[in-house]
Structure 1
Amino acid sequence: MMLLWASVLWVLASAGVAMLPMRHQYVPGVALLVAAPVLIYFIGAQVGWIPGLLALAAFVSMFRNPLRYFWARARGQHPELPK
C-alpha cells in the first residue's frame, strides 16, 4: 500500500512541477528525476517486471528532454538550456 501512495505522490508532484515556469522547474525536476528509478525498481520488485517496464516507459516518455540533455553531457557535448 505504501508503494501505491508513493507512486501517487510522485505523479502529483510531477504534474505540479510541470505547471511551474521553466526557470523554476530545475530543482524539483531533478529531485523527481533522481527519485523515479528507485520508485520504478520497487514497482518492478513488488508488482512484477511488466508493470516495472511500463513505469520505465512512462518515465522515459515524461523526462525525454532532461534525459537527452544528460546523455549529451555524458558524451562530452554542451547542449544549450532553454531560457
Structure 2
Amino acid sequence: MTPALIVIALWVVLAFVMAAFPSTDNHWRRAYILIAIGLPLLVWVTWQAGPWAGTLALAVGGLVLRWPLFYLWRWLRGVR
C-alpha cells in the first residue's frame, strides 16, 4: 500500500472523528477543512497510485462529503 493511500485512509478516519462531535454550523466549517485537505491528497493519490486509485479516492471523498456535493450540484443547475 502506497503512502498516499494510507494518508487518504487517515483522512477518512479524520472525517468520521470530526463528524462525531456536535457543531453549531451543521459541520460546514469542518467540510471546508476536509475539502482543503482532500483535494491535494486526491492529486497525490492519482499521481502515485494511478488513475483507478484516484477515481476510487474521489468516490470515497464524495461519499464522505455528500451534502457539499449535493449543494454544489444544485448550485450548478441553478436550483434554489
Unpaired segments of 5 or more residues in structure 1?
A: 79-83
Query: What is the root-mean-square deviation of aligned Cα atoms in Å?
Result: 2.2
Work out the CA distance in 1 between the residues paired with 2:62 and 2:39: 10
Partner of 2:51: 49
Q: Give ranges in structure 2 of 5+ residues lacking alignment.
A: none
TM-score, reference length from structure 1: 0.71
- The aligned counterpart of 2:71 is 69
Q: Which amino acid aligns with 2:35?
A: L
Matched pairs, number: 78
What is the Cα deviation at residue 60 of structure 1?
1.1
TM-score, normalised by the number of residues in structure 2: 0.73
CA distance in 1, matches of 2:69, 2:58: 13
Percent identity, aligned pairs only, is: 28
The aligned residue for residue 19 of structure 2 is 18
